[in-house]
Structure 1
């Protein structure tokens, strides 16, 4: 791929040429715009008999007000449209109580779009109050695309998603850390712990409200603190060779109307990203979609000149262009048409600690630090992002999957492909002839053991990228089959991190597939995949963040399956604590997750056995003990309340434990929580032993303390014993230990 010249029109690179994409897919993947209009027309004629334009989504029509792109894809395909299935989300109403956590996991693996802006574009955006330039401006808007996004799977059926999004990253400095060892990785887990402590100390949860005992530990539901931990964990791992989720699918190359040599600047930016200083590392595929954006200054420049320049861009660089119209002046909250910029959801722990996206990183706007934009700017940005994703990124990914599936995966699935795989494994045939690839370490495949990655054009790397693309397009059936097909090749080549990643994502794809329910999936095979992934990450690669991610995904997805899968989820949560992958607050959160897993296991209708309420109550009490030692008595009180609710079903009518030792331990814990709670709020500790009439010590203190009328607080319950030393080891997590057997006896 060569840099465009000055005298001749620039030909679009083959990787994003609309003509090449349409010829590669033909009837299976027609143009996205035409398919959407055709689908709307079919729905309109079938349901209401109205015109096709009346069935367009209201959000799209609203955003089209400021869409300044004259581009319209001409040449409607004459190929008959494929039969469509329902465009409703396949997860609607399927997993009550677990939809949020599943959506969070799905959105975590979104396509990555790099941003390469010219200096004049960044300067224009800085004047609007964003120090990070153009990438910081559009980043929060890309996390959720307005309106429904229709995606086709490998068999041609369509699904509509309302929570689709992309990750915008700055191309500058991307992939500076080599594939080997990232210096920032060793401290990533410690930074996560620091973020959690910061959130608890500030008294605010991830949703922006104060943390209270009511909404932090609502077992068995997922709490805001657990969601924050999971979001931080999924944002921790950087771009790596063994998985392509962090590799750019597309790149936005932008200039502004202030630029004196716009076309030359675009050529220069393209050359920098292809062969210059901004070139991606060798383990990243260089042929990705280029999308060109012209940012027009509404207040200083002429729209007619910008439109003529935009037409020249389309002639030189193809149809993947957009004209974005923004006001260059700074918006403050006092303006009538001001809109608050949404906060970024996917901030890494390092960004949280450094204050990225918070008030201290913004130019002083004369307000409380919250960034604001004009309503017209917000509408234009949302329209630009929707056009980028719906008309360019998703069709590009669909076409790439179709081509790779036809040219690479189909050969690998055939008899000749299996024969060559066996020959390479046992006789060394079919190995790469390129110098440096497969020449060291005794491997006969394409894996370069000196640099620890596959060449991007090798079949193994292409198949892994195809599986990741299918996963990001939410075609989990194709993704699972592709991961399953290549995991043995990675093991034969001793590419252990690739081997671990393929096992991890194969299991995750199987659990995310809404059509593959628990009865059709052998949980033993899923557990074996997670076991293999964890062993390879920890023992062979010494990669704790990826191991923690793998086990955490196993806990949450198995818990959402229900039934016998909840016990497997609880075992994986215990394994996280046994391996020491989390500390302090992380340990307590996983204790809560164990309790939530056991509490979510409900027996069949009418059955008197099969529930795990005793185990759930035990782990809630252990979490309460650890919260108390961490100096959070209100959270410990919530855990005790949850334990009381769980034990109320299995204990006798008086609620007394059958073993005096256990009753004494719980009473001591209750009283210690009560004392710590009072001292934390400036009240004097009770001088006398609490009684039924005055459980706290004074009636006035009790009225000030217990304001939660919707439930009874254990802080106000009687405690017949004084607070003493709670002889409970922090590491007592194994349910087979003697103290825990007392909780689990029938």
Structure 2
């Protein structure tokens, strides 16, 4: 860290210038309906990689070119479940194991604070960005250009191509009132609202689903593109919490512009406000983070010679952690020759996503297009972000990890450190720490403050947690898991339950991310114990449903990526999410699809069908199809039905489900999907249906509706009008059959 307090002032150059269920009725429709052709576009890319304007533009163009409905394709399979895989649009797996794994790793990226002077924000306002300098550079931190080299704790280096950081504005005055309120975690209700808005904003999702070729492992399991959106919003928290340091700032960018009257003095004032002023972090945040000084040069109005001289003065006073960013102050429009579409931010919080959707609808109504940047500005920002991360942030974190590992962790791992830890716990001596009241937790000799609910940042327990989090963000998962394992016992003894739950959660995640860690059947028991302890502590002791859901979702995805017996464990934990009622209506459907994907990824022994879980996977896709239909999305239901056709076709010889009631239900569900799609297209109800299946939806649905549904934390009915989030403990003996029992 470089501080401007111990340097002599230098005079700057003088010339600076300023769901309800679908009611299905009997009807007959035309015999032949034109079969839809696959459209070459990916819903996952259109939803998750582009701006809202791009999403609507691409989807509207695809819908207008779509020739017909999926009705014809479904009518060919009413009497038989076996389907040809070549005709299925589900061969393209939108979330492969590596893709989801990379998404989880990038979700825990270093956080960099941004604090810009008023004249810097004014310069950015002229370019059309109302939220200032942070809004301008934030999307470019999602993925750093080029390869990033990181050295682990044993000195070996590894390159990463998907490394990223998150920029967070430290000036809360520029944020809207609702965003500046202190919230521990994003609301689960807001996540459900985001899913509902995205799902119901797509008129024809099937038209945007791309079919891909065989990947060498046969057909891949069903994966809804909305699940990736759900995972991103679940992991997009920007509210710092004492028990984990992933959202605590690793560095802070202090920016001034070439319009600043007293540049060096302004830098000193900005630094003072981030250390002792109103922009200082909370008392449970480690204050010694890196400061990085940026001079924003106005290419259109200021002299580069004077800015270069000022930049040389900055490097002499503040060290090498400086950068001069050359930007044009004029606003770029689409008609400019070198205009580039401004990228959208990948890691939006649920509230930000809802706000952006509302703003985008307003822009569409008034005919306004999105923001644009000059190509030279894009190149300059990418170079700035790469230099910041590769030459300053990563070396700073590596040095901190080495120092904490040598000074704190290594002593705790030794025999003397273990003896002193036991002495502190049971005899109350061995350290200079204070004593807390045992009636409130903490116990004798504890550094934990039960009244305020955190450790001081210089306490050994807080340093060990920061060491583990830094190692995790540097992707040294072996050091991270060993450190979490080392400190989680101290948290349990001090009754710091949120710390204890977080340590168990990240210990399981870092162990599963470690490629050298074994996940055989005998090795899964410790992972299950870690996940169970973390989810129980979050829910019961901390009333934190958000982090409990995050724990279980991370466990599901990382266990699924391991394959083998871990796939069965992943499915069990996904079913646990449904039993706990941690998600709303749309979330339950997405989790049901993930249960199917977990079972479908289980491979048999020696290439045989023995040991696979295709029938279970097919059952869960049928349940998902039924739920999508109740949400008024027959196209998504038809995708699930086709996936169930393929899954059942792999294990059933005659193409028929052995149980007649299930076969009848699937046939009637398929007819309901056809009718629902045609009704959504406004086709005449008096048309004729070519299907020979007698419609008996009411009888079968009545049987299935006898299942006892768990009470959701989100509340019933419309997710947008959900009840306040509360934590409930669910009974297991007297509530009837579980939600996953298919009668």
TM-score category of the 2 structures, normalised to the smaller one: 0.7 to 0.9
* CA RMSD across the alignment: 3.1
| Alpha-carbon spacing, 1:432–1:588, altered in 2? closer, same or farther (3 Å) | farther
Task: Show structure 1 runs of 5+ residues with no match.
Answer: 11-94, 696-717
- Distance in 2 of aligned mates of 1:555 and 1:282: 35
Residue of structure 2 equivalent to 1:669: 669
| Alpha-carbon spacing, 1:406–1:3, altered in 2? closer, same or farther (3 Å) | closer
| Secondary structure of 2:272's aligned partner | helix
How far the C-alpha of 1:173 sits from its partner, in A, is 2.7
Q: CA-to-partner distance for each residue in 1:124-167, whole Å, 9 max, x for gaps? A: 00000100100000000111110000101111111111110100
Residue of structure 2 equivalent to 1:105: 104
1:721 aligns with one of 653, 670, 695: 695
Residue of structure 1 equivalent to 2:126: 127
Q: CA-to-partner distance for each residue in 1:349-406, whole Å, 9 max, x for gaps? A: 00011118965799x9x98422111111111111111100000000000000000011
- Distance in 1 of aligned mates of 2:436 and 2:318: 36
How far the C-alpha of 1:322 sits from its partner, in A, is 0.4
| Alpha-carbon spacing, 1:416–1:187, altered in 2? closer, same or farther (3 Å) | closer
Conserved? CA contact 2:579–2:738, under 8 Å: no
After TM superposition, list the pairs within 5 Å mapping 1:637-648 onto structure 2: 637-648=638-649
Conserved? CA contact 1:139–1:344, under 8 Å: yes
1:429 and 2:429 are equivalent in the alignment: yes
- Distance in 1 of aligned mates of 2:677 and 2:279: 55
Q: CA-to-partner distance for each residue in 1:440-488, whole Å, 9 max, x for gaps? A: 6452210000100000000000010010000000000100100010000
- Distance in 2 of aligned mates of 1:188 and 1:237: 12
- Distance in 1 of aligned mates of 2:274 and 2:739: 61
TM-score by length of 2: 0.79
Paired residues in the alignment total 622
After TM superposition, list the pairs within 5 Å mapping 1:248-287 onto structure 2: 248-287=249-288
Residue of structure 2 equivalent to 1:8: 8
| Alpha-carbon spacing, 1:106–1:2, altered in 2? closer, same or farther (3 Å) | closer
Q: CA-to-partner distance for each residue in 1:177-230, whole Å, 9 max, x for gaps? A: 9xxx986458710001110111011118xxxx9564845999625432010000
| Alpha-carbon spacing, 1:539–1:215, altered in 2? closer, same or farther (3 Å) | farther
Task: Show structure 2 runs of 5+ residues with no match.
Answer: 11-93, 213-218, 711-731
1:449 and 2:423 are equivalent in the alignment: no
Conserved? CA contact 2:521–2:565, under 8 Å: no
| Alpha-carbon spacing, 1:592–1:483, altered in 2? closer, same or farther (3 Å) | same
Conserved? CA contact 2:442–2:495, under 8 Å: no
How far the C-alpha of 1:737 sits from its partner, in A, is 5.2
| Secondary structure of 2:587's aligned partner | helix
Using CA pairs below 8 Å that are at least 6 residues apart, which structure has the higher relative contact order? 2
Conserved? CA contact 2:4–2:317, under 8 Å: no
- Distance in 2 of aligned mates of 1:308 and 1:294: 11
Conserved? CA contact 1:200–1:211, under 8 Å: no
Conserved? CA contact 2:559–2:567, under 8 Å: yes
Residue of structure 2 equivalent to 1:580: 581
Conserved? CA contact 1:438–1:446, under 8 Å: no
Residue of structure 2 equivalent to 1:345: 346
Conserved? CA contact 1:255–1:294, under 8 Å: yes
Residue of structure 2 equivalent to 1:635: 636
How far the C-alpha of 1:263 sits from its partner, in A, is 0.6
| Alpha-carbon spacing, 1:409–1:687, altered in 2? closer, same or farther (3 Å) | same
After TM superposition, list the pairs within 5 Å mapping 1:318-467 onto structure 2: 318-355=319-356, 359=360, 368-430=368-430, 432-434=432-434, 441=441, 443-444=443-444, 445-467=446-468
TM-score by length of 1: 0.78
Q: CA-to-partner distance for each residue in 1:598-618, whole Å, 9 max, x for gaps? A: 011010224341000110111
Conserved? CA contact 2:117–2:270, under 8 Å: yes
| Alpha-carbon spacing, 1:595–1:215, altered in 2? closer, same or farther (3 Å) | farther
- Distance in 2 of aligned mates of 1:375 and 1:213: 30
Conserved? CA contact 1:101–1:222, under 8 Å: no
Residue of structure 1 equivalent to 2:187: 188
Residue of structure 2 equivalent to 1:711: none
Conserved? CA contact 1:507–1:526, under 8 Å: yes
Residue of structure 1 equivalent to 2:165: 166
Residue of structure 2 equivalent to 1:197: 196
